[in-house]
Structure 1
Amino acid sequence: MRIALSSYRSKPHSGGQGIYVRHLSRELAALGHDVTVFSGPPYPELDDARLVAGRATDRATGPASRQTSSAKRAGATASIEPMSIEPTSIERASVEPPNPGRLRLEKLASLDLYNDDDPFRHPDPRELRDRIDVVEYAGMLSGSFPEPRTFGMRLAREMRSRSREFDVLHDNQTLAPGLLDIARGGLPVVTTIHHPISADRRLEIEAATNPWRKYTKWRWYSFVPMQARVARASSRIITVSETSRDDIVREFGVDPERISIIPVGVDVETFTPDAGVAKNAPGIAVETSAPGVDVETFWPDGSARHRVPGRLTTITSANVPLKGLSVLIDALAFLPQDAWRELVVVGTPNRAVETQLEALGLSPRVRFVSGISDDDLAGLLASAAVHVVPSLYEGFSLPAVEAMACGTPVVATRVGALPQLVHGTDGETSAVTGSAGRVPAAHGGSAGPRAHATGEADTSADADGSDAGILVEPGDAHALAGGIVSLLESEETRTRFGRVGRRRAVTTYSWRAVAEATAAVYTEEIARC
């Protein structure tokens, strides 16, 4: 097939959109499909599809620096070469793998008003090239987030003359009216919704401390009703879990018969229990929220083969209430001081987090790191005694699966797909089954018989040994602390959970299975149109 894969932003070093685009595009190309990725800034870093045939030939098609999966992550460990780009408003570059599939990137330039180096910048009037640029700038000035709408406008404009080049368009979470214009033009369109952004909006407005902050959050998320309208009008939607499907149906009013469930994958060759073993580097410099604190290396002996006693890890690619970092910090205050050594957070602290750590006297024991490679992230997760996912909401949680792939036991909240990830599915069979890529149901969202009352951690291991960790209620710092302590106190339980997690990650969540199921959805939608 000739596939157009679009994403309004594909940041390789924060969040999951760039990661999803990178891995899915590579595996689709490896299956023999021609894949053209359309993205606004920040742009993705694409892999050479030959990487799946032999990892020694891995070549990144982006900048030479690689960055983390959930904090800064993309690229490859060997023979990294920058992509050659033409300096046009739509920049093109291609990688020709030694198989029929072709993978290339086309950059749809925007005003890039939310660039990390200059956020909310005011462009020179000469940068306003057309009506779409004016709409984008006006949206920023009004306090809204215009990128999804304006990317959809640019993509629709591009496809007016190019739709015959493709058999299907697969969009990643844009949900803009321009996609409906493309579909009306005759090109089949499939849309991925990882979860409805209305959940982010609700939690951020609830966390706002005064009426003005609540208004600014409401204004920022004013694009959500647009996304709901587009979702209801979309003919085929892919999402990552049963919980996300239910939320999309409830929040956006989408017909559940039009939703296919295909989970996100994990690179089980990078994320392994032995990740970082061969590492000879002296370690990774980390930031601490307290000045003057000595910085030590992640791997005291130069490897991650021996887990660091008492080390906790968590990943928060976006420091927002939804990720629950403040709840985890509160939980640390309830832990016996001699039960844990440190918490390493993959992410960047904001002032509120720093203030919370200072008030609780935890600054010397909580470290923040960013800008590390996939290999180094895997080494960090493999060195941890326990990985913590304190989210208040999750559509899927890639970090949980990455920790499981590293054989690290997980303490997670009972939200989204986390019960399915941690407690597993019947029979340990592939999560991607059927022509529509449907995944078996999670254990009821509340973990069925494993559910406990708020304030208690689910610390019991089930009889059939299918648990990869412990589930607790979201937002409950006491329960989170109880789950962490119960694992830190039992090496036998940690080892058993780690083995289950590794097995589940390998057998259930491969990117190749994700790509095959996704291609099956394309075929069905093309036939329907």
Structure 2
Amino acid sequence: MSENQEKPLRICMISYRSNPHSGGQGVYIRNLAKALCDLGHEVDVLAGPPDPLLEGGARLIPVPTLDLYNPEALFRTPRIEELKDPVNLMEWLSISTMGYPEPFTFGFRAVRFLKNRLHDYDIIHDNQSLSYGIQQISQKIPTVATIHHPMTVDRKLAIRSVRAPWKKFKHLRWYSFIGMQKRVSRKLPRIITVSEFSKKDIAREYAISPSRFSVVPNGISTELFFPMPEIQREPGRLIVTNSADMPLKGLYHLLQALEKVSRTHSVRLTVIGKPKEKGGIEKLIRKLNIGHIIDFTGRIDHWQFVREYARASIAVVPSLYEGFGLPVGEAMATATPVISTTGGALPEVAGDAALLVPPGNADALAEAICELLDDPARRERLGAAGYARVHEHFTWKNAAEKTVETYREVIRDHR
């Protein structure tokens, strides 16, 4: 029986924290849920805050949590009534001791909600919580999980980025959930990941056979990211979509490159978002004395985001590692020429439609920026090539179809 003839599936996606505007996991859950609905399937998304802003018929089932990472009330003190719930108490105690408990505790919240509802679904799809609760659910109903990239990479880079032993310990404590994720992922029948590079790294880091993976590349939302030819690109303007202090994202290296480029070129950098107050990014900007050529946008709406791409002459993706590389794909969808590192799976997304440099190399990044600034014809060619590549290879419809193939395989094997 062909896919068109098989009955639509009833799918429950589980996502513990899914910001729809930042972070690959939030973008993933919002767009894949919509694409699955577009194929005719029924999709519920069991999600903690923030609201993933689902579209296209996917139904949100909000799961109350302490929401201690809400920037409007960061690490608030819970009320006594809230702490009477054992799951809330575990979450609060872990955070109070520098842990990151949300993947762990959300699994228990999912078990609690689904206890008498598992018969409503054909398959459960976990979005990288990989919690003991998901393992428990998988014993009763077909279950798959997406792992975007191995969190062991984040942990290694975070520990390497600091010198003080207490700071290294702090990172070790924060990433202590990784042990749980390794154990649970080995018990699940099928793992979806977003690139061949991620597959190899996860298989090695988590000790999972490569045969248990399905590689399903992410899509790029071309109805949300597109060229705006009516806006003129500003000479010398660069854009980067990452303002985080996380070493993994490589902004430190871009700032060092920017200082080098500014010695010979008139250049300005737009950073989408804002840095952590008194954090490493702010300190480095002061040290390099480049604050006058950097614009932090703060929080902006999506359409302003696309307009910022339209103004830029070059988009830079300086990440040390990406399991897929949505920033590369989104920039290419706007026909903005891209400079990207070769960190992780970024070359799989960029192909020959971007200028590639080694990760963590400010000199190479500076040289590539100067090279493109001096060559408008090449910028034009790269922008056109990137736009064509996204539309040919990275659609959410393709991602949804391949995901459904994995669902049906797991359902058949579970019977």
Residue aligning to 1:384: 312
Q: Work out the CA distance in 1 between the residues paired with 2:224 and 2:101.
A: 36
Structure 1 residue 336 displacement after superposition: 4.5
AA matched with 1:511: W
Deviations along 1:241-264, whole A, 9 cap, x unmatched?
111111101111111111111111
1:335 aligns with 2:270: no
Correspondence 1:426-437 to 2 at 5 A: none
Identity of aligned residues (%): 43
Correspondence 1:49-198 to 2 at 5 A: 49=56, 102-185=57-140, 187-198=141-152
Q: Secondary structure at the match of 2:125?
A: strand
Q: Work out the CA distance in 2 between the residues paired with 1:235 and 1:167.
A: 15
Deviations along 1:414-442, whole A, 9 cap, x unmatched?
1112112222xxxxxxxxxxxxxxxxxxx
Deviations along 1:137-160, whole A, 9 cap, x unmatched?
121122211111110011112222
Residue aligning to 2:361: 476
Q: Work out the CA distance in 2 between the residues paired with 1:336 and 1:141.
A: 43
TM-score computed with the length of structure 1 as normaliser? 0.74
Q: Secondary structure at the match of 1:121?
A: coil
Correspondence 1:11-22 to 2 at 5 A: 11-22=19-30
Deviations along 1:140-189, whole A, 9 cap, x unmatched?
1222111111100111122221100000011101000111111112x111
Correspondence 1:333-482 to 2 at 5 A: 333-350=259-276, 351=278, 352-423=280-351, 467-482=352-367
Q: Secondary structure at the match of 1:10?
A: coil
- Cα pair 2:320 2:344 within 8 Å, conserved: no
AA matched with 1:485: C
263-272 or 168-177, which moves further after superposition?
263-272
Which of 14, 22, 30 is 2:38 aligned to?
A: 30
Distance 1:12-1:318 versus aligned 2 partners, 3 A rule: farther
Structure 1 residue 317 displacement after superposition: 5.7
Residue aligning to 1:227: 181
Q: Work out the CA distance in 2 between the residues paired with 1:171 and 1:112.
A: 19
Deviations along 1:107-152, whole A, 9 cap, x unmatched?
1111112221222222111112422112111211222111111100
Q: Secondary structure at the match of 1:117?
A: helix
1:274 aligns with 2:202: no
Deviations along 1:296-327, whole A, 9 cap, x unmatched?
xxxxxxxx2x2111100001163311001010
Query: Which consecutive unaligned segments of at least 5 residues does structure 2 have?
Result: 1-8
Q: Work out the CA distance in 2 between the residues paired with 1:246 and 1:405.
A: 27
TM-score computed with the length of structure 2 as normaliser? 0.94
Q: Work out the CA distance in 1 between the residues paired with 2:295 and 2:262.
A: 19
RMSD: 1.4
The number of residue pairs the alignment matches comes to 404
1:217 aligns with 2:145: no
Q: Work out the CA distance in 2 between the residues paired with 1:235 and 1:326.
A: 39
Residue aligning to 1:259: 213
- Cα pair 1:396 1:417 within 8 Å, conserved: yes
- Cα pair 2:321 2:345 within 8 Å, conserved: no
1:324 aligns with 2:246: no
Distance 1:318-1:332 versus aligned 2 partners, 3 A rule: closer
Residue aligning to 1:300: none
Larger helix percent: 2
- Cα pair 2:243 2:275 within 8 Å, conserved: no
AA matched with 2:59: R
Residue aligning to 1:241: 195
Q: Secondary structure at the match of 1:18?
A: helix
1:500 aligns with 2:351: no
